[in-house]
Amino acid sequence: MKKTGLFKIIMFTLLAIVVITWFVPASYFNSGELAELGKYRIGFFDFFQLIFGAFEFKYFIQIFIFLLSVGALYGVLAKTGKYRAWIEKIASKFRGKEYVFLIIAAVIIVGLTSAFNYGLLLFMFFPLIISIVLAMGYDKITAFLTTFGAMLIGTIGSTISYNITGVINEQLSVTKLSTGIWYRIVILVLSLAVLIVYLVKAKHTVVKKAENKIETAIENDMFIGEKNANKYSVWPIIIILGLLFVLLILACTNWSGTFNIKFFSDLNTKIMAVKIKDFEIFKNIFGTIEEFGSWYYAEMAVMNLLAALLIGRFFRMKHRDVLSYMAEGTKKMLPPALIVVLAYCVIYFAGNTMFYPTIAGWILGATSKFNIFFASIATILGSALHVDMLYVANYVIPQIAAEGASATVTGTLIQGLYGVTMFVAPTSVALVLGLTYLNIPYTEWIKKTWKIALILFGIVILTTVAAMLV
């Protein structure tokens, strides 16, 4: 965490927010008008009270535990011996055409994020993909772009994601997720093309000597693990990770909100109602189980821990050894998990002090009607401060929409620029998680990818202009 400088950057951001509260009054947007609440000044002890208050949010705690559970799972996987052998085998299968693997992995992640935006849940599978990419001889930036970068590209080009597009549409009073979808598809396709071009070019940085590839991977990878010639098969690992992926799709996709599918909701109700006389079997034995479509970080954290225990069982590990490996993996994942929670504290500070609507009002007030330049500045600033689309939608959209822009134009601009901001902002949760996990300095990330970010920004702006002209 020290090497990346992200801790210092985020703490400086929090301090800047504290200073701002002394000079900028809190406001909220109501019925087309900006209502001022007065200054909400944060003192020295208020600063710490608000930090601890942020930790009281169940959502943040669940994310923290989920990330630790991923570490626990891969901590056990790393000790099986077969996990590393599997990684090396996959890497060897793509020898001479490594970029094909990069493209396949990136396209899948982009597609899943664009359609469903699972948030950080996809991170369950990133350590595996990252290990393979590093074992092929690629650098950490390429490993990041193949995973976290692809996730951010999918966010920029969100198509029917209820967590991104759906949230925006609710603020715009748009009932159909398909409204303005062709503009979002254009952004998605062009942004994905930019990523693919970079990944194809990245083959020139591949380490040529095979023996050096795995050595480099071991140095840069948390969980590539040990290799030994034990008698056990790799299939338990493949099956369990495969089942986790299927469970992610089935249990964490918002079927009701995205597709208006009530099957899982109705099925859950029927299962929970099963009785023997007056005894509710499932409810009393297993407790209240959330329906598929409503699972999130807490539920998947439990699944990760169960998967770790199952893998330990399949590989005949002693119980105390399994717990030790889980603890070791959790320890490795602690810095990324902490930096993510700290990034979420920025949301808490900015959201509770309510100064952003005032600043947005000043920016947007420079013109009497919609202006793409000022709207872009307001969106980028709001995204960097709030980093979660729910907060961005609540604080940014009402003011921009009030300037007379159509729902399609507003949605295209805000969604696209939110994604671009998450690609570069040091408060972006996905960005700080990936950089900390891979131990990539933030300055190095900006140095290597600023051209990509600029191109992505241009794609969003030009697409928004096209939407304005149609």
- pTM above threshold 0.85: yes
Q: Residue 232 has which token pair?
A: 């056990």
Lowest-confidence range among 141-155, 217-231, 340-354? Answer: 217-231
The DSSP output letter for 28 is: E
Give, to the nearest 10 degrees, the angle between helix 389-401 and helix 356-364: 40
pLDDT at residue 217 in the model: 60
pLDDT at residue 433 in the model: 95
Query: Residue 123: which of 244, 227, 225 has the closest Cα?
Result: 244
pLDDT at residue 17 in the model: 85
Query: Residue 333: which of 59, 21, 70 has the closest Cα?
Result: 70
Higher-confidence residue of 139 and 32: namely: 139
How far the first Cα of the chain sits from its last, in Å, is 47
Taking the C-alpha atoms of residue 228 and residue 374, their distance in angstroms, rounded to an integer, is 59
Average pLDDT for the chain: 87
Residue 280's H or E segment, with its range, is strand 279-280
Residues 67 and 432 sit within 8 Å (Cβ to Cβ): no
pLDDT at residue 301 in the model: 96
Query: Residue 387: which of 411, 421, 353 has the closest Cα?
Result: 421
Higher-confidence residue of 223 and 432: namely: 432
Q: What is the mean pLDDT of residues 150-168?
A: 92
- Looking at this protein, which amino acid is placed at residue 196? I
* Residue 33 pLDDT grade (very low, low, confident, very high; cuts 50, 70, 90): confident
